[in-house]
Amino acid sequence: MATKWGICSAGKISHDFMVGLETLPAEDHQAVAVAARDLKCAKDFADTHKIPKVYGSYEELAKDPDIDVVYVGVLHTVHRDVVLMFLENRKNVLCEKPLAMNSAEVGEMISAAGKNNVFLMEAFWSRFFPVYEQIRSLLRQDAIGEVKVVRAEFGYSLCDVPRAVERELGGGALLDIGCYCLQFALMAFNGEKPESVTAKGFLHETGVDETVSIILQYPRKRQAILTSTIVTTLPNQAAITGTKGNIQIPSLMWCPTSLIVNGKETQFPLPPTTKNIHFINSTGLSYEAEHVRQCLLKGLKESPVMSWEDSKLLVSIMDEIRKQIGVTYPQDQV
C-alpha cells in the first residue's frame, strides 16, 4: 500500500519535495492532498504535481482522514503552530529543518507527538543520502578509529533572500544552513552531547547572524569546528578524522554525491529528474521520504536516524550559540 502524503504549503521546498517524491515508485508514495494559505496557490501546485485534493487552509488538511503523513514545508517561524495542529489531529509529520525556533518550541512539539502517539521527524534530508548512510556504516565498523576532529562548512550568498536575513522570517546563517554543519558533527560523534560550545560571529544589519563559527569540545580531546555564512560561497566541504583514517565530503556537505575515504573517492548518483528544482540536488529529498515510509510501516513514532533526542540536542546547542553571538527571535520572548 502506498504511503499517502499531505503537503502543507505550496512554497519552494514543498515543490522540490514533490519532485523528489515523483522519482519514487507510485505504488509506494502518493501525494493525495495539498494545502496552502491561498487556495489559488494550492490549486496551481496541485496542477503542477497532479495532486487530487486541494485545500485553502492547513486546518482542512489536518481534518482529512485519508492522509498517512503530512510534509510541513512552511517557514520555520511557524513550524511550531502548524505542526502542533497536525499532531493534535493525530497526523504523522515530517517537518522541514530547523524543527522550530528554540528548545521550548521543539520540546512542546515532541511532547505533543508523544501524547498523540504519532510520528514526528525533523527533515534533515542529508542524513538519508547514501553518502551519509555510508559514513554511519564506516563509523559503526570503526573504520577510521576514534573520531578526533570533525570539520564542516556551509556558506552561500543569501543576503538577497528575505527569508535568510529577516529576523521576523527566522533568518540567519545558523538556523538556515549552519544547522546542517551541526547535525553533521552530532552524527559523527554519535549523538554525544559536547562538554562545551564556543561560538563567534558577525551580525547582519537585521540582527541575525550572517557568519558564525562554532567549536564543540568533547572529552578525550575531541573537537568539531564548524563555519556557516550567508554572505559568500564556501567550499562547502566536511571531514571526519579519526585515529586510523579520514572521511571527506569533497563538496555540498548537506546533499553530497561523492565520498572520499582514506583518499579513495566513490560516487553516489542522485535520482534523475527533468523537472525544475529550486535547490541543488533536491531529488535527494526522496531518500528521507522513503525513510519515513519505512518508519511508518514499522509503526515507529520517531526515526532511529534523526531521533527526538537528536533534534533536542541540536536545538539546545543552537540556543547556546545564539546566546553567545547575540541573536534572538520574537519566539524567544514567550
Ligand X SMILES: NC(=O)c1ccc[n+]([C@@H]2O[C@H](COP(=O)([O-])OP(=O)(O)OC[C@H]3O[C@@H](n4cnc5c(N)ncnc54)[C@H](OP(=O)(O)O)[C@@H]3O)[C@@H](O)[C@H]2O)c1
CA 64 to chain CA centroid, nearest Å: 26
Q: What minimum distance in Å lies between the beta carbon of 9 and ligand X?
A: 4
C-beta closer to ligand X: residue 44 or 192: 44
Binding-residue pattern over the window 93 to 112 for ligand X, x denoting contact by CB under 6 A: ---xx---------------
For cell 564548524, the residue is 226
209, β-bridge pairs:
203
Return all residues near 227 (Cβ < 8 A) that are at least 6 apart: 152, 153, 154, 155, 181, 211, 212, 213, 214, 234
3-class secondary-structure state, position 107 = helix
Q: Report the alpha-carbon distance of residue 43 to residue 290 in Å, rounded.
A: 26
User: 103: closest CA among 261, 334, 260?
Assistant: 334
Question: Which residue of this chain has its Cβ atom nearest to ligand X in the complex?
Answer: 11
When asked if residue 78 is in the footprint of ligand X (CB under 6 A), the reply is: yes
Task: Determine which residue in the list 3, 7, 10, 230 makes contact with ligand X, applying CB under 6 A.
Answer: 10
Q: Which of the 8 DSSP states describes residue 139?
A: H
For cell 552524527, the residue is 187
C-beta closer to ligand X: residue 112 or 158: 158
3-class secondary-structure state, position 268 = coil
Binding-residue pattern over the window 21 to 60 for ligand X, x denoting contact by CB under 6 A: ---------------xxx--x-------------------
CA 150 to chain CA centroid, nearest Å: 19
* Number of residues in contact with ligand X under rule CB under 6 A: 21
When asked if residue 277 is in the footprint of ligand X (CB under 6 A), the reply is: no
3-class secondary-structure state, position 35 = strand
When asked if residue 13 is in the footprint of ligand X (CB under 6 A), the reply is: yes
Instruction: Name the phi and psi angles at 111, rounded to 5.
Output: -60, -40
Binding-residue pattern over the window 209 to 248 for ligand X, x denoting contact by CB under 6 A: ----------------------------------------
C-beta closer to ligand X: residue 138 or 321: 321
3-class secondary-structure state, position 67 = coil
Q: What minimum distance in Å lies between the beta carbon of 86 and ligand X?
A: 14
Q: What minimum distance in Å lies between the beta carbon of 42 and ligand X?
A: 7
Task: Determine which residue in the list 3, 9, 227, 228 makes contact with ligand X, applying CB under 6 A.
Answer: 9
When asked if residue 279 is in the footprint of ligand X (CB under 6 A), the reply is: yes
Footprint of ligand X on 111-130 (CB under 6 A): 123, 125
Q: Report the alpha-carbon distance of residue 313 to residue 194 in Å, rounded.
A: 10
When asked if residue 84 is in the footprint of ligand X (CB under 6 A), the reply is: no
Task: Determine which residue in the list 6, 49, 61, 73 makes contact with ligand X, applying CB under 6 A.
Answer: 73
The number of residues making up the chain comes to 334
**What count of other Cβ atoms lies within 10 Å of the Cβ of residue 116?**
17
C-beta closer to ligand X: residue 76 or 91: 76
Task: Determine which residue in the list 74, 139, 147, 226 makes contact with ligand X, applying CB under 6 A.
Answer: 74
**Binding positions for ligand X, rule: CB under 6 A:** 9-13, 36-38, 41, 73-76, 78, 96-97, 123, 125, 163, 176, 279
